[in-house]
Structure formats: structure tokens, C-alpha cells
């Protein structure tokens, strides 16, 4: 397996991964699949902002997953905070690929002067919460019933990890 910067030729494979996640999980609170045009705009916005879109592929060049980060919010006071995403094909989950994809984001965020990285995870996705905690993320908030998908209300958990040297993490009671 290798991780590399994604390019325009990778968008169809990445979109297939993302749309499968939309269709089968609550990892993304979208009801409808994205179109190639919508996804191209997302990719162009990320790369134009200098943010990475990373692709993991097997030795045969098959896409296994991707990761990225973008602005948490657009107001200037949040400029040092990014929110990441990582998504894998169903058969690539649980094999360390997601870990490698997220770990590859940390030095890129640090090089851009970012201070903290957030992950937003469906509260029922205990596997993803444990995954993030193993990577040093700490639960810092829960937003009850902010999402709705598959006929039910969904709670969102925010996890945070500091990526620079100026803080060791949120206060224990945060």
C-alpha cells in the first residue's frame, strides 16, 4: 500500500468510495450521492486552499481510501483549526490504512501552521471514535440530534487533537 497526493484522475475512484459511504453508513450526513461535478468543486476548493487530498492505493493501483482536511469554519479566528475526513472502501477497513491516512495529515497540517485538528463522528460509530482516540484525539463535545438519516436522529461527537507543540491537549474535564 502507498499513500500519495490525489490528482484529478483519481476523482472517480475517490467519489465511488465517498458515495458508498453515503449510501451505507452514517459517517456522512448526506442523503444523496454527490455528482462528479460537485466532487470536482470540493477537490478544487481543497487543493486551491493548499490543503491535501491523500489517496491510499494497493500495489495494483486500486484506490483503498482517502483523507483530507479543510477549514473548520471560515471566520478568521478559526484559521488555525482544521477538520479532517477519512473514508475507506469496505474491504479496506480495519487494516491500518485509515490510521496511515490520518497520520499522513498531521505533518501537512503542521507545515501549514495549524494548531488543532477536529474530527466529527456519528456518536453511534464506536469504532470510529476508538480509532480517533488511538490516534490521540479526545472527545470534546457531543451535539444531540443535529443530523437525520435513515429515518432517525443522529448525535455528532467532536474529537480534537493538537498538532503543534504549544499544547498537550484539552483540559481533562473539557
Helix axes 11-24, 36-48, angle to 10 degrees: 110
Q: What is the pLDDT of residues 59-117, one digit of tens each?
A: 999 999 999 999 999 999 999 999 999 999 999 999 999 999 999 999 999 999 999 99
**Dist CA 152 CA 131 (whole Å):** 24
pTM: 0.91
Q: What is the largest CA-CA distance in the chain?
A: 47
> What CATH number labels 2-117?
3.40.630.30
Q: Parse the chain into domains and list their residue ranges.
A: 2-117
What does the block give as the cell for 137?
A: 484525539
3-state SS, one letter per residue, for the chain: CEEEECCHHHHHHHHHHHHHHHHHCCCCCCCCCCCHHHHHHHHHHHHHCCCCEEEEECCCCCEEEEEEEEECCCCHHHCCEEEEEEEECHHHCCCCHHHHHHHCHHHHHHHCCCCEEEEEEECCCHHHHHHHHHCCCEEEEEEEEEEEECCEEEEEEEEEEECCCCCCCCCCCC
Q: What is the pLDDT of residues 101-126, one digit of tens each?
A: 999 999 999 999 999 999 999 999 99
Cβ-based neighbours of 152, under 8 Å, separated by 6 or more: none
Q: What is the pLDDT of residues 17-42, one digit of tens each?
A: 999 999 999 999 999 999 999 999 99
Q: Enumerate the β-bridge partners of residue 100.
A: none
What does the block give as the cell for 36?
A: 462528479
Residue 174 confidence (pLDDT): 36
- The three-point CA angle 55-59-61 to 5° equals 50
Amino acid at each position: 500500500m502507498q499513500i500519495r497526493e490525489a490528482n484529478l484522475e483519481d476523482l472517480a475512484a475517490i467519489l465511488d468510495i465517498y458515495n458508498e459511504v453515503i449510501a451505507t453508513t452514517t459517517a456522512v450526513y448526506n442523503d444523496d450521492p454527490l455528482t462528479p461535478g460537485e466532487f470536482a468543486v470540493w477537490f478544487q476548493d481543497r487543493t486551491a486552499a493548499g490543503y491535501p487530498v491523500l489517496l491510499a492505493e494497493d500495489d495494483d493501483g486500486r484506490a483503498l481510501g482517502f483523507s483530507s482536511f479543510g477549514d473548520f469554519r471560515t471566520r478568521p479566528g478559526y484559521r488555525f483549526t482544521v477538520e479532517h475526513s477519512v473514508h475507506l472502501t469496505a474491504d479496506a477497513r480495519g487494516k491500518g490504512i485509515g490510521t496511515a491516512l490520518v497520520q499522513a495529515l498531521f505533518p501537512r497540517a503542521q507545515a501549514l501552521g495549524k494548531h488543532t485538528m477536529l474530527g466529527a463522528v456519528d456518536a453511534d460509530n464506536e469504532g470510529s471514535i476508538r480509532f480517533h482516540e488511538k490516534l490521540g484525539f479526545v472527545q470534546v463535545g457531543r451535539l444531540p440530534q443535529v443530523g437525520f438519516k435513515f429515518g432517525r436522529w443522529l448525535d455528532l461527537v467532536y474529537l480534537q487533537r493538537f498538532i503543534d507543540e504549544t499544547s498537550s491537549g484539552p483540559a481533562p474535564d473539557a
